[in-house]
Structures are given as C-alpha cells and as structure tokens.
A = this chain, B = another copy of it.
Amino acid sequence: MHPRMTTRPSPQDESEDEPRSTRKRRAILDASTSVFLSNGYVGTSMDEIAALARVSKQTVYKHFADKERLFSEIVTATVDEIADPNYDEVLNLMDTGDAERDLCAFARRQLRAVMEPRLLQLRRLVIGEAGRFPQLGRLFYERGPGRTIDALATMFERLASRGALELDDPRLAAAHFNWLVMSIPLNQAMLLGEDEPATQAELDRYADAGVRAFLAAYRSR
C-alpha cells in the first residue's frame, strides 16, 4: 500500500538487523495510519500506535521524533503515492496531438486517484486539524494539489505556445482545470463523509465534463 514508506538502506547502514528495523518502521507507519484515521490527530497517542504495531514506545520514538513527525510521514507517503504518477503523467502529456482525448484520459486517472478512500479520509482529517496544525495541511496542499497544478501550468503554457490553448495566466488555467475535474465529487465526499460517493462510471463522467468545459473556455478559436 505504501511503497514510499520503505526507505532503502544506504550502504553504511547495512547490517544484520536492517531488514528488521525496516519492518518495524513499516509496522509503525501502518499502525499509525489506522489509529490517526480512526481517532483523529489529537485523539491519537504514541502508546496506542506502539501497541497496535507490536513494538515498544521507545522503538516508535527511535524512528519518529514525535507525533507530528510521524503524521507528516504519513501525509507525505500517502499524498506522494497519488501525486507522483499524476505529476509524471502530466509532464508526458506535453507532446500530445489530441488534447481532448489525452486530457480526458489524464483527468479520469487523476480523479480516480484523488477519490481513493484512504486519501479522502486523510484529507478530511488534515482539513479538520488545519486550524490548529496548519503545517500538516500545508504539507498536504503543497505535495498534492499545489504540485499537480504547477505541473499542469507548465503543460498548458506549452500547449498555449503551440497555439492549442489561449490563456494569459497558465497557473490560473491549471487551477480551473484541476477543480473543474475534481470539485463536484470531492466536495460531496468531504462534506457527506462518504468514501465512495460515486461509481467509477460517474467519476469518469465528471472528469470528461470538466475537461470539455475547460477546453470550451480555453481552446484557441
């Protein structure tokens, strides 16, 4: 589930017990994800995480200095898992010949990824705590929507320089694209507390409709 949570040992760290340490680290991350998502940030204790991961509290602290650090790791790992493929895909879209087809394919994958239940739960948790712990939300924003919008802006700027799009402000256009695709099902999921508020077919329709509205607004005439 969390490929990026496993840090590869650097050569000087290699030792007999390295795999065991890595295993414990992953157990702590998996346990803490469950506990955070069930109990919220304030309601989570390092004791409970240690118990669920079947390690000592000292081991938890050896790997993660404090609760905030641990939560930051989870946000980073979960958001990167979604955002990294999106980011790569956006950059590969730059040489497209058929903007509508390619943007629809991208938007469908992006929307499905963003609507993944675990990410929806984490997003609700981060928003709920953002007033008290803005650094957690900032991390989520910068590694998630912020980064995707940056990549889209780069791509749209190139499409505009080739005459495929007509825009003054690539970052604004990128944000409009992003939210045209995601806002309807994402806001419903956030407020209604549903982890699967729409079927895959419905998500595809929202993605396609968002792309069509975007192109109707920004395509060169």
A40 touches B128 (CB 8 A): yes
Q: Is the interface of A mostly helix, strand, loop or mixed?
A: helix
- In the bound complex, how far is the Cα of B197 from the Cα of A134, in angstroms? 12
Tally chain A residues at the interface, Cβ within 8 Å: 43
Contacts of A172 in B (CB 8 A): 184, 209
B128 touches A193 (CB 8 A): no
- In the bound complex, how far is the Cα of B125 from the Cα of A145, in angstroms? 21
- In the bound complex, how far is the Cα of B130 from the Cα of A195, in angstroms? 10
- Known A-B contacts A124-B130, A131-B124, A217-B213; A184 and B179 likewise in contact (beta carbons under 8 Å): yes
A175 within 8 A of B: yes
Residue from the set A132, A172, A213, A218 with the largest chain B CB neighbour count within 10 Å = A213
- A106-121 vs B, Cβ < 8 Å mask (1 yes, 0 no): 0000000000000001
- In the bound complex, how far is the Cα of B91 from the Cα of A94, in angstroms? 43
Contacts of A209 in B (CB 8 A): 169, 172, 176
A138 touches B216 (CB 8 A): no
Among candidates B125, B140, B180, B195, residue contacting A179 with C-beta atoms closer than 8 Å? B180
Among candidates B124, B125, B130, B180, residue contacting A176 with C-beta atoms closer than 8 Å? B180
Closest chain B residue, CB of each to CB of A136: B193
A35 within 8 A of B: no
- Known A-B contacts A40-B42, A180-B179, A192-B138; A187 and B145 likewise in contact (beta carbons under 8 Å): yes
- In the bound complex, how far is the Cα of B137 from the Cα of A187, in angstroms? 10
